[in-house]
Structure 1
Amino acid sequence: MATRALILVEGHPRLGLQYVQTAKRLGLHPITLSADPAQYDYLSAENVEAIHVDTDNLDSLIRECTRLSSSCDIAGVTGFSRADESACVTAAKLCRYLNLPGPNPTSMERCCDKFAQRQLLARAGVPVPAYRLASNATEVERSAAEMTLPVILKPAVGSGSCGVRLCRNVDELAEHTAYLLGNKHLWRSSPRILVEEFAQGLYYEADIMGDEVISIGTAELWPPPHFVFREVTYPAPLNDNEYKCIADVSLACLRALDLGWGPTNIEFRWTKRGPVVIEVNPRIPGTPWPELVRLAYGVDLIYGHIKVVIGDEPDLPRRQSHTATARLLVPDHDGILDWIDGTRAAAISGVAEVKFYVEPGTPVARKGNYRDYIGHVIAASPSCARTEAIVQRAVDSIDGLITPFPTLGEQ
């Protein structure tokens, strides 16, 4: 019998290991196609087959998969989110070419363009913040004046809150516009900036597999101007009407964007209008979200995703029994991480995981996006209040030292 292979377009520094381990558990042979396989440490650690290929070139991927199909049975293909989520779109196109299960590539492409996404949602009557599209400083200034400050500026294509900032006055607006249009933000195409109303209210997100809402969580963010998560909790404390309202809007998003295959993650703010859609992501959210869903609901999103990718039913029965909370660790100042130790934190009853993303000796610098995170602590218990207390105690138990970068006069 031919080996059944799961093709992974690119990898992921935090989720990638879980994908390859789950694939192996399902009897699949994971193969990673990457422009730089060496950047994913888990590939060598897990002895995963990795092939160097230009993952921005669909023809190159097709040729590689055609070659692989002569020696193995390609059961499915999926891709990981990058800064612009292009690998997810490319994987969808590859599935279409190989006649494998996968999302609609056109729908994925439109969804990954925040302006196109906003247009489709608004036309379908889904509540979204007011928005404008700008390509230069004059258009940004005019759009902000039409909407009144504060506004959010963000790249029309991107993920992980990269380049996203709340601009509360004209100086901040001019500063961030210059940042986005200068050489500091990486654009893969011509600059397109979304100028968006600042929707204020509690943050929620829904995780969907196919057309089924699996879980709804809530989160706190660090104070503006950036949008960096501080703490995430599943399940969100909602009454039946609130849950139904978020679930109904979530399914309306799928219809408006022609999604409904595989995983979708939808972010909301609960405003005076009710749940307003901030963003629809056609993928599983990154670490530690899947771990929280598993602890709170007993659902393994990665297992379910791979099952769908290979054409099987996801089989995701829920059994909510715990409240799971993650505290995202962010340095309080920039510098060199000399050392960090979570031994005492991990030993606390109720702590499910203490994980650090950076090694001692690594420079840490806050950028106002997902790269600020240096680790997380996860706790779970039957009580929301108890879980919060466990997380706080664990965070307080972490030892470490960050030496500030020397100032100009000290060098």
Structure 2
Amino acid sequence: MAPRIALLGGRPSVLRSAAELGCGVVLLARPGGYDPEAARRWCIEVIDVDLGDQPAVLAAGRGLQARSPVVRFFSPTELGLVAAARLNEDFGLGGNSLRTVTLLKDKSAMRNHLADLGLSPVRFRVVHSARELTAFLTELGGPGIVKPLDFGGSADVHRVDGPHRAAEIWSRVEAAGRERMLVEEFLTGYEVSVEGFSTDGLHTVVAITDKLLGTGFVEVGHSVPASVDEHVRAAIAELTARLLDAVGLVEGPSHTEIMITADGLRIIESHNRAGGDNIPELVRLACGVDLVRAAVAVPLGLEPWEKELPAPLGGAAIRFLSAEPGVVTDIALPTEGLEGVTLGVKARPGMVIPPVTWSADRVCGDVIAVGRDAVEAAARAEAAVARIRIRTSPVA
């Protein structure tokens, strides 16, 4: 009998992958927050619920268990991680503990936990006012980074160069409706992400990903594998395993962000989910490992996790498209010279393009490319992006 599972959110590729494993997929997602055609094709039921409303999600999950139980709640999305862990724990369905998931979700709790263990020291403080922000920046004696305690997507992340800018930054925080923020010392170096997978508490680093940042700390591209030497790669793998052990992660995908600084490796944050920004697709193309499929297949015992990773296939890269904010009036796409390139253009005439302040504002689409290595893949992606024209006019 096919196992019934619940997915708290999910892109079409996630729904398809679970269905192809033979699972009966129940999707929990907000109206308009999923692809209706994919849901009709790959799901046996859709429950409309806002994943940002945790009490509503928990009520929906408990109602589902009362009338038609599932064997596991999975969340491929950040918003559903804690609710999925709570439901799994409440119904004895296995998976990572609520404590583990909450530690990863709450950036201040994670920092405190790492500080207690003496792991990856970073100076930080939770602040509630411009005055507290000023005081901490004065102690730092250098720039800091202000970020929400429990949100992703580079939303409401600000660099602050010193106490003289604290009031300005805090006014932005208040304008966003936030009352407390995490402030950390600003780490300077080379940032990568680590795409991992865990089984029975054993952790495998599947890939290390290069990150290309635009303005406002919003990623504009990624490449796999990262351009780091074997010594650094081994150190990153060791630190990642220590982190995942420290928080008690036992199964499934993980996405850990690390800064390579002059003082050593420093953990930025980690998540018990696969990376966003189509990183799992880059990993599949470059490494031959399908993290989306494994996230469901391995915990349910439908497929084993191979201890030996397959031989690398080459490199893969993604670059996000952009346009001047406004209404799209015209789009011009290349038709030749696209070897190894897949265009994922989402912009359409009449679409409103917002200023890019966080990841969700990247509405124009992306370009994914493969190559013999990450350098060639990135070059192909960037060459394709340079030939795409998305014209806009000011919003009336």
Check the 8 A contact 2:160/2:166 in 1, yes or no: yes
SS at match of 1:336: strand
For residues 133-282 of structure 1, what are the structure 2 equivalents within 5 Å? 133-170=126-163, 172-182=165-175, 184-185=176-177, 187=178, 191-210=179-198, 211-223=203-215, 226-282=216-272
- Aligned amino acid, residue 206 of structure 1: V
Distance 1:142 1:218 in 2: 34
Contact kept, 8 Å, 1:101 with 1:310, in 2: the verdict is no
Structure 1 residue aligned with 2:355: 366
In structure 1, stretches of 5+ residues that fail to align are 407-411
The CA distance in 1 between the partners of 2:252 and 2:12, in whole Å, is: 20
Quote the Cα distance in structure 2 between the aligned partners of 1:354 and 1:128: 41
For residue 66 of structure 2, what is the aligned residue in structure 1? 66
Q: 1:341 to 1:290 in 2, by over 3 A?
A: farther
Alignment of 1:96-115 (within 5 A): 96-115=89-108
In structure 2, the residue corresponding to 1:203 is in which secondary structure? Answer: strand
The answer to whether the 8 A contact 1:267-1:278 is kept is: yes
Secondary structure of 2:226's match? coil
Identity %, equivalent residues: 27
* CA distance, structure 1, for counterparts of residue 67 and residue 49 of structure 2: 13
Give the Å deviation of 1:256.
1.7
- CA–CA separation in structure 2 for the residues paired with 1:253 and 1:47: 35
Shift of residue 156, structure 1, vs aligned partner: 1.1
State the alpha-carbon separation in 1 of the partners of residues 99 and 263 from structure 2.
Answer: 31
- Indicate the residue corresponding to 1:81 in structure 2: 77
Per the alignment, do residues 216 and 54 of structure 1 end up closer, same or farther by CA in structure 2, a change over 3 Å counting?
A: closer
- Counterpart of 1:356? 345
Q: Aligned partners of 2:77 and 2:164: how far apart in 1? A: 33
8 Å Cα contact 1:102/1:309 also seen in 2: yes
Q: Does 1:337 align with 2:328?
A: yes
* Aligned mate of 2:297, from 295, 307, 318: 307
Structure 2 unaligned runs (5+)? Answer: none
SS of residue paired to 2:104:
helix
Q: Which moved more, 1:159-168 or 1:380-389?
A: 380-389
Identify the match of residue 39 of structure 1 among 33, 52, 63: 33
Whole-Å Cα distance in 1 between the matches of residues 7 and 387 of structure 2? 38
State the AA in 1 paired with 2:393: T
| Contact 1:233-1:323 within 8 A present in 2 as well | yes
Per-residue deviation, 1:234: 0.5
What letter matches 1:208 in structure 2? G
Amino acid at match of 1:8: L
Whichever residue aligns with residue 334 of structure 1, its letter is P
Q: How far, CA to CA, are the matches of 1:340 and 1:92 in structure 2?
A: 43
The answer on whether the counterparts of 1:77 and 1:309 sit within 8 Å (CA) in structure 2 is: no
Q: Tell whether the 8 Å contact from 2:149 to 2:182 is kept in structure 1 after alignment.
A: yes
Could you say if the C-alpha distance between residues 314 and 163 of structure 1 is closer, same or farther in structure 2, counting changes exceeding 3 Å? farther
Q: How many angstroms does 1:405 deviate by?
A: 3.0
Q: Aligned-pair distance for 1:266?
A: 0.6
Per the alignment, residue 20 of structure 2 pairs with 25
1:239-258 superposed Cα distances (whole Å, 9 cap, x missing partner): 22111100000011112212
Q: Could you say what secondary structure the match of 1:39 adopts?
A: coil
- Range with bigger deviation, 301-310 or 154-163: 301-310
How has the CA–CA distance of structure 1 residues 195 and 100 changed in structure 2, closer, same or farther, with 3 Å as cutoff? Answer: same
In 2, Cα distance between equivalents of 1:264 and 1:220: 20
Partner residue of 2:277?
287
Counterparts in 2 of 1:38 and 1:366: CA distance versus 1, 3 Å:
closer
Moved more, 359-368 or 116-125: 359-368
In the TM superposition, residue 303 of structure 1 has moved relative to its aligned partner by: 0.6
- Residue identity in the other structure for 1:78: F
